[in-house]
Amino acid sequence: MPHFEEGTTLDRFLLETMRAHPGATGQLVTLLKQVALAGKLVSARVQRAGLAGMLGAVGGMNIQGEFVQKLDLYANETFKRALEHAGVLCMIVSEEDDGIIQIPPQFEVGEYVFSMDPLDGSSNIDTNASIGTIFAVHRRFSTGRDGVAADVLRRGRELICAGYVIYGAGSMMVLSTGEGVHGFTLDPSVGEFFLSHRDIRLAPDTRAYSCNEAYSAQWDPRLQAWIASLKDPSLGWSARYIGSLVGDFHRNLVKGGVFLYPPTAKAKRGKLRMLYEAQPLAFLAEAAGGAASDGVMPILDKLPTELHERTPLFIGNRDAVARIVEVLGS
Ligand code: AHM
Ligand code: MG
């Protein structure tokens, strides 16, 4: 991989990375440029949300029984519109849509499939906390015009690329094609993402955990005991939880930490979704030297069987994830 200075634009980074891979068709670069474009559009809308009447729910429930926020709809449509005409995808899976989204007949199809949570953490929209778009990219293996479910019901280990665009105090695009994890910060005054976090490594030592501890009485007692043990003041642990997966993951990626969403009485198989939450973030975590597990096996080794399948998720610092797996197996 070429060496990149901080301040390199995302476009230059993508083009030079592609040139270092002879045989690359350029479709992935086109795809990621369209992701960046959609991310900028959503970022602009998030920044103006309170002024533009975009806060709050539209009144409907999505297919998973959650209230749909106006910005959820905007993000979903914006990403779909930015991607469908580019000739690089044969299908899309979105948290907001029940089934596979096919590429409209007037557009060319391409070699990739795209899964996304268009606006993760949307319960935080009205609070001005970090939210984001999480995405994952597989190379298709079906041969017809339209992609099929089997193109996306795959182990995360097979992903070509994963990342997110986080809309926080500033907006960033964080991505990996397997060779390190890189973060690009949006300069809104010029509308460009610039490399700001090169080769992010998850801190090898951590003393921060992120979970919704109000549910702890519903967790496996062994996990409850482990979290309780961290409260010994001599160990120096802190808790950090926003309630927005992309925000909590990003904090832990940059500062070190471990995120936990164990099964609960309400969410017996966990809350977070395999295809567009757990798999892409697990891909990033491993590429940054961290780990992700469902408590038994690495997330990237799990084979999903449904588009909107959920999973328990323990992700972040490698040693902390290993300890959780050990605790849950004891
Ligand atoms: P969403 O995709 O509808 O926003 O739901 C997923 C979110 C995650 O961002 C976050 O980690 C989790 O739900 C928080 O759940 P809880 O409020 O139960 O702690
Ligand atoms: Mg989500």
Count Cα neighbours of 222 within 13 Å in the Cβ-side half-sphere.
9
List strands edge to edge, sheet with 208-210.
Answer: 238-239, 208-210, 258-261, 313-316, 291-293
pLDDT tens by residue, 123-151: 888 888 999 999 999 999 999 999 999 99
And the tokens for 285? 């975590």
3-state secondary structure at position 236? coil
Q: Whose CA is nearest to atom 5 of ligand 1?
A: 121
Intrachain domains 10-197 and 208-329 with the same fold: no
pLDDT tens by residue, 38-55: 999 999 998 886 666 666
3-state secondary structure at position 8? coil
**What are the CA-CA distances from residue 237 to residues 36, 200, 204, 280, 289 (Å)?**
36, 22, 15, 27, 21
pLDDT number for residue 68:
59
| Average pLDDT value for the chain | 93
Atom of ligand 1 nearest to the CA of 121: 4
pTM: 0.94
pLDDT number for residue 36:
98
pLDDT tens by residue, 87-105: 999 999 999 999 999 999 9
pLDDT number for residue 64:
64
Judge whether 324 and 293 are in contact, CB under 8 Å: yes
Q: Is the pLDDT of residue 67 over 70?
A: no
For the domain covering 10-197, report its CATH number.
Answer: 3.30.540.10
Burial environment of residue 104 by CB neighbours within 10 A (0 to 12, 13 to 18, 19 or more): exposed
And the tokens for 258? 């471990």
329 alpha carbon – ligand 2 mean position (Å)? 28
314 alpha carbon – ligand 1 mean position (Å)? 14
Domain ranges of the chain: 10-197, 208-329
Mean pLDDT of 233-237: 96
For the domain covering 208-329, report its CATH number.
Answer: 3.40.190.80
150, 147, 35, 149: which is closest to 102 by C-alpha?
147
